[in-house]
Chains A and B, each alone.
Chain A
């Protein structure tokens, strides 16, 4: 009954001509699914004057790109974008359709799923297919992250899911790849739109966004109090890192919400992650476990944070961190005058 539905699709989210990282990650994940199912992988790109992005999409793994280029699609709006996506999906019938779980991706996917009367799995962190039934197995944290649930959509097509940023891996960019570009016309009129984007205001205050930082020093409730938490800031400053924290720390008011790492905060993959006085609750771990090099400092040898740490120090942060700061300062001097602070 679903023979008409073939192919794996990824919605390519672009903001002002720049492709979101999660879309490239999804091309990587989608490639695997498409190969398993022996079907092409397609990117779906909407916007105004965005055609030059197509080669990039192909170089990250797509076999073809569907493009809808229209003035009304200049800025993201649910009403206009969903029209384009639905048009494509109804015409070309993909069996699997993935979106990044960003504010726009979630918004779009929810609206599209409603119109297509199909299932949508939110915030997926693991993807697989059951080849026999060509069934997408989308797994996601449930009950506040204490457990994983695999969600299936047996009787409807396409099978849709939004996928969390930073959990899938993008392929190496390969400029030698070739693919097809399929342009689609759409009839849209600005007068029909009930929402208007008057302007876009970028957050200029951003220091280093947590999600972009290479080195993160994160502290937990184990720092004792606001004053104890100053050690985290001090260490971060010494090594030029960005500060992060657990939800408990944010709720205690030691850090603003933007600095929270974890399920209800940011998912990050820095090169180095310090977890200090953090117990390692599952909701925290899902936000940082893919960091390259994780150093945990905790006085409880059984703290679960040690399970994900590359190196662990069992000890009192109040003793360890000041020594670390001291040693780093020595190291920094050795490194010489290359250091500059803003």
Chain B
């Protein structure tokens, strides 16, 4: 079983700061990390490998040379090898161009070892789109199953996998033929504390780096900025709403005023749903 996990390096939006004058990201304030959802995707691959007792886990990332850091991080979690596609030709890609480039890299990886399963994060915390995974699946013509919350069982003879997919108020139990592509959120597993040998392996690991020339049958106009139908028109800070009224007085007076204000909403209160 060969599982490929797509992993992205993203700025840590938890500590991100925006320069209010230029409306751009203050890079200094935003360390680059492995997209948290992708960490769960790698962890799930490790779990699957354990579950079926064999397998190879590759990770694939597209990004600048420093993105090798997220490949090493994935090795820590338990990936066996990692590929980075890095080239100016890929720069400025939106989700459509990204899924194109990644699918070309997956085709090449598949030539080295046939791919049975692709796993992506539910979304990347910088773009927050969740569009790349399904996009890759379309390009490879494999079924996408998004929002998977549990991988239950593999049937190697039938080449099927049993999955739970989250929907608005519950889940679907799905049987899918593989190769297929899954996207996973945080509920699917807990990231385990990596064992020391993985850490040492990761420290030593040199990711395989490809440029656009290492990929085959690439239609260059579909790459990068040129291949991206969407563009960012403008950036703006959301208009600040005006505040309401502040109640005055001491705690008792404030509470009394509030209760009075809620008098006419009484039927909403105490009603059960």
Contacts and interface: CB of A to CB of B under 8 A. Distances in A.
Interface of A: 15, 20, 75-76, 78-79, 82, 102-104, 106-107, 109-111, 113-115, 117-123, 137, 141-144, 146-156, 194-203, 206, 208-209, 212-215, 239-242, 257, 271-272, 282, 289, 293-295, 301, 306-316, 319-320, 323-324, 327-328, 331-332, 335, 338-342
Contacts of B175: 195-196, 198
B191 interface: no
B51 interface: no
B273 to A, nearest CB: 4
Select the residue from B147, B167, B261 with max chain A CB neighbours within 10 A: B167
A107 B269 contact: no
Interface string B150-181: 00000000000010011111111111110010
Given A119-B229, A194-B180, A114 B99 contact: yes
Contact of B126 (A119, A143, A151, A194): A143
Nearest to A212: B273
Top-4 shortest CB links A-B:
A144-B13, A119-B229, A122-B129, A110-B134
B28 interface: no
B16 A341 contact: no
B147 A103 contact: yes
Contacts of B186: 257
A151 B231 contact: yes
Contacts of A150: 232-236
A245 B127 CA distance: 24
Contacts of A104: 167-168
Nearest to B236: A148
B135 interface: yes
Contact of A331 (B16, B18, B147, B259): B259
A296 to B, nearest CB: 8
Contacts of B244: 294, 306, 309-312
30 contacts: A104-B167, A106-B130, A106-B146, A110-B133, A114-B139, A122-B127, A122-B130, A143-B25, A147-B23, A147-B238, A149-B232, A151-B231, A194-B143, A194-B176, A194-B177, A195-B180, A196-B174, A196-B175, A197-B173, A197-B174, A198-B172, A199-B172, A201-B171, A214-B268, A294-B244, A306-B246, A308-B243, A314-B246, A332-B269, A335-B266
